[in-house]
Amino acid sequence: MAGKSKTIKVDYLARVEGEGALYIRYDDHGVHEVQLKIFEPPRFFEAFLRGRDYTEAPDITARICGICPVAYQMSALHAMENALGLMPTEPLRNLRRLLYCGEWIESHMLHISMLHAPDFLGYPNAVAMAKDHPQVVQRALEIKKTGNALVRLLGGREVHPINVRVGGFYRVPNREVFQALHPQLIEARILAELMVRWAAGLPFPHCEQSYECVALSSPREYPMNEGRIVSNRGLDISVQDYEKHFREQQVPHSTALHSVLIERGAYLVGPMARYNLNYPQLSEGVRGLAEELGFKAPCNNPFKSIVVRCLEVLYALEEALRLIDGFQAPDEPYLVAEPKEASGCAATEAPRGLLYHRYAINREGKITFAKIVAPTSQNQKTIEDDLRLMLPKFMHLPEQQLQGLCERAIRNYDPCISCSTHFLQLHLQHEAKRNS
């Protein structure tokens, strides 16, 4: 005779980007079913990109996500340049990295302060949290503003920037404008160190998981725009070989496709994966602080991803300062190539993790094929696995608390659901109730 079986149901997950629900069926003996149901309506980007001009891909794919438009722009640019055989010059490459630093800062700070931190302190949102913890919220907003300022300077605006183009930028601002941001970046770096210390002191549920972490890796630097795709279980491939090792599959309960590693199944992308695989590439200062606080890589507790995000923000601020100090104006704001029949692909590190694009274009430069694999579709299976592994340890909790914990486990990932379809409800069902 089976024990009393229950379900957890969340019909609309809050504080995530996009629309999703969670359904969990369990009883006293174990978890029987976990479904992260993404019901964000499909928008068919891969279909309607066909026939559009290749130069439009960065502007159009930016509209996949309002929180990380730069990530889409970067992957699209690099894929088109890969197709056309364009190699951005070192100054252009540095400016793209600077723009990406801006997005990491603003996107991570949004998630840390407005979506994630309220979970640890028991508030429904950042505005309510600000009443009791004004300093934390204001600090976070100050840092976020610095990220916004970087994106605005190089991209024109924070959401859907307009200044990037295949080959480079439409216009490159002059050195003085970058230098003007220097004092703000220095100030934000001080605040970011305080954020890391604050986050490290939050109460974390005990939850060590075993992940196959996947991220870009490059001997040259902490990865953003380039590198090989590596994992802690032996994967080491070029981006060109991505589709030989990763496959997207459709599941009936979600409008987002599930991506799996063909050899092994679920894997983790995002800040924790990046951190675990690229720790030595972080600056000495960031590593020193991580070690002082007991957060040296690897980090395998998904609830601690908030600390990793704070460390990445600190790194991005340092990196932005380095890039601004070493600013060299490119000879030309962009390189030009004639369209030709070609195909190309690229992967970059969106704040939420690896983002892969592949395109084919024809002689007129019109897109004939597009494939986009967003970080959330890659993490979906791992999110479900997290819940499956975590739940048995917390079954003794009252149902409402258990449900809250499940929602938090999902928010650990900062899932960007609009992206993955090409947000969240929870259905927690204990079998006995369903049967009664």
Binding site for another protein (CB under 8 A): 12-19, 40-48, 50, 52-53, 56, 59-60, 63-67, 69, 110, 114-115, 118, 124-128, 130, 137-138, 141-142, 144-145, 148, 156-160, 162-163, 165, 170-171, 249-250, 252, 255, 257, 333, 407, 418, 422-423
Cα 354 to the chain's mean position, in Å? 7
Q: How far is the CB of 63 from another protein (least distance, A)?
A: 5
Cα 389 to the chain's mean position, in Å? 23
In one letter, which amino acid is 263? E
CA distance 102 to 330: 20
> 324 CB contacts (<8 Å, ≥6 apart)?
98, 178, 179, 181, 182, 185
Q: Which of 222/413 has CB closer to another protein?
A: 413
**Vertex 115, ends 113 and 103: CA angle to 5°?**
65
Q: How far is the CB of 318 from another protein (least distance, A)?
A: 22
Find out whether the peptide bond into 298 is cis, omega within 30 degrees of 0. yes
SS3 286: helix
Distance (Å) of CA 301 to CA 198, 220, 251: 17, 28, 27
Q: Which of 170/435 has CB closer to another protein?
A: 170
Q: How far is the CB of 298 from another protein (least distance, A)?
A: 30
Q: Which of 379/425 has CB closer to another protein?
A: 425
Q: Which of 52/93 has CB closer to another protein?
A: 52
**Residue 106 φ/ψ, nearest 5 degrees:** -70, -40
Q: Which of 268/345 has CB closer to another protein?
A: 345
What's the length of the chain?
A: 436
CA distance 96 to 333: 12
SS3 17: strand
- Provide the sign of the torsion angle of the four alpha carbons 102, 105, 108, 114, taken in this order: negative
Paired sense of beta strands 164-165 and 168-169, if any: antiparallel
Q: How far is the CB of 123 from another protein (least distance, A)?
A: 9
**Residue 375 φ/ψ, nearest 5 degrees:** -55, -40
Q: Which of 13/335 has CB closer to another protein?
A: 13
SS3 281: helix
Q: Which of 10/268 has CB closer to another protein?
A: 10
Q: Which of 13/273 has CB closer to another protein?
A: 13
Q: How far is the CB of 383 from another protein (least distance, A)?
A: 18
Q: How far is the CB of 1 from another protein (least distance, A)?
A: 35
- Under a CB-based contact definition with an 8 Å cutoff, are residues 215 and 269 in contact? yes
Q: Which of 125/328 has CB closer to another protein?
A: 125
Q: Which of 143/387 has CB closer to another protein?
A: 143
- Provide the sign of the torsion angle of the four alpha carbons 93, 99, 105, 111, taken in this order: negative
CA distance 349 to 71: 7
State the CB neighbour count (10 A cutoff) for residue 409: 22
The residue to which tokens 């604050």 are assigned: 198
Please state whether 282 falls in left (phi above 0), alpha (psi between -120 and 50) or beta.
beta
Q: How far is the CB of 237 from another protein (least distance, A)?
A: 24
Q: How far is the CB of 124 from another protein (least distance, A)?
A: 3
Q: How far is the CB of 44 from another protein (least distance, A)?
A: 4
Q: How far is the CB of 180 from another protein (least distance, A)?
A: 17
The residue to which tokens 């479900």 are assigned: 384
Q: Which of 274/422 has CB closer to another protein?
A: 422
